[in-house]
Amino acid sequence: MPSIHVLNGPNLNLLGTREPGIYGTLTLADIEARLRKGAKTLGLEVIFRQSNHEGDLIGWIQAAGAAGEPVILNAGAYTHTSIAIADAIKGSGARVVEVHLSNVHAREAFRHQSHISAVAQGVILGFGAASYDLALQALAPPPAI
């Protein structure tokens, strides 16, 4: 079964505990559960991870790129700061869809810049947990005829 990596960056483990007006009320475990459901119908295996450490994300991106497996990436605040994560995507050739729960362009100016967008295949943001579901659809292989 083809695999898809869903990688989550810093503080996303706090989802569902605070700031529901921005990030919604679902926990990261809730997002994982609904994504696994969707992936099952598409015949995909989900490898779902979260880390508060930049190096973990870089290692996972490199491994996905080496395996030729696509990535849904919510790099959290590293989106706005990390050239190292952008280099990992470019250097490993990983196929990445960047996702965000919130519409970062409707928020503080420092969230308007993304180092990931230029090296991602595409970006989906502002749809809450559905951003992840839409990314899954974007990356799913077309059904066999």
Smallest separation, CB 23 to ligand CA2 (Å): 5
Residues 7-46 that bind ligand CA2 (CB under 6 A): 11-12, 14-15, 17-19, 23
Catalytic residue at 100?
yes
- Decide: is 92 part of the binding site for ligand CA2 (CB under 6 A): no
Catalytic residue at 78?
no
Residue from 51, 82, 92, 102 binding ligand CA2 (CB under 6 A): 102
Query: Hey, what's the torsion of the CAs at 90, 78, 111, 29, to 10 degrees?
Result: 110
- Decide: is 76 part of the binding site for ligand CA2 (CB under 6 A): yes
Query: Which residues are designated catalytic?
Result: 23, 100
Give the interface with ligand CA2 as residue ranges (CB under 6 A): 11-12, 14-15, 17-19, 23, 74, 76-77, 79, 100-102, 104, 111
